[in-house]
Structure 1
């Protein structure tokens, strides 16, 4: 596998999308994040060694070609009825020795629920190793449905990669 783009910072991007279906709302969220041309490969939430997480919006999203694989962690939640809320979030801790970290992702219908679920999961994942990790950090994002379905998404795109044998 030849990697198209590898970064030492993983951006955490928060976006919302809207469409006539939940699928098109999901796609619109990816468009808003400038990630709609990739095949998403969802990862199990381990942050690679030597990689930092950037939630400031300064780290660029990975760049590749149409149809490339995009390795990522994401949370997505939908609301389809007027007044419903959709909330998504990603939280993380990093090892103090620089040898990686952990992401967790949660979705729900309220900001409070998602935030607490992230904190609980991170606490449980590092139990017994607290001294070796940074304090938890997180990004939570939400949207209220006004008419058409909406999607709240928080995505951490790691890198893009071409398909084996794909033309350059």
Structure 2
């Protein structure tokens, strides 16, 4: 990852895509977030120091050019059968001392399963140091397949970087 500073806020964004295939539905979800022109680089879910998480949908995604790398945490679930559900979520805790936090991401076929998995993961990740972290928060997204394949997505973009190593 580039050595430049990470953004002050990491937005948590949601979208549901559709398409002729599950891959096309995944891409449609990215296009709906205006992120379909990036190469995704999935991160291991650590929130950098002095960075907050914005679940309001008002913080902008990082800017970049066609083909740039987008460092992000995301959950995506696809469904192809009529009536099948696709649920995704990202949860997080922040360190109370401002030195970062933790994301968790889960996917499944029901809202309750994803919410429970996020809560359980956050609980285990801070076990023994609960007093050092904020209460857990989460953003969920879900959809039901009505014919065409769908992809439910929740994505937290950190920053973009050009292939020459220059962060944007």
**Do the two structures share a fold, i.e. TM-score over 0.5?**
yes
Counterpart in the other structure of 1:26: 26
TM-score (structure 2 length as normaliser)? 0.95
Counterparts of 1:14-163 in structure 2, within 5 Å, are 14-163=14-163
Structure 2 portions without partners, runs of 5+: none
Counterpart in the other structure of 2:8: 8
Over 3 Å counting, the alpha-carbon distance change for 1:5 and 1:16 in structure 2 is farther
What SS is found at the alignment partner of 1:67?
Answer: coil
Q: Which runs of 4+ in 1 moved over 3 A?
A: 1-6
Report the Cα offset of residue 164 of structure 1: 1.9
Over 3 Å counting, the alpha-carbon distance change for 1:15 and 1:5 in structure 2 is farther
Cα deviation, 1:30-89, whole Å, max 9, x if unaligned, reads: 000110000000000000000000000111011100000000000000110110000000
TM-score (structure 1 length as normaliser)? 0.95
What SS is found at the alignment partner of 1:31?
Answer: helix
Over 3 Å counting, the alpha-carbon distance change for 1:101 and 1:20 in structure 2 is same
Aligned residues: 167
Report the Cα offset of residue 6 of structure 1: 4.6
What SS is found at the alignment partner of 2:156?
Answer: strand
What SS is found at the alignment partner of 1:44?
Answer: coil
RMSD between superposed Cα atoms in Å: 1.8
Cα distance in 1 for partners of 2:25, 2:3 equals: 29
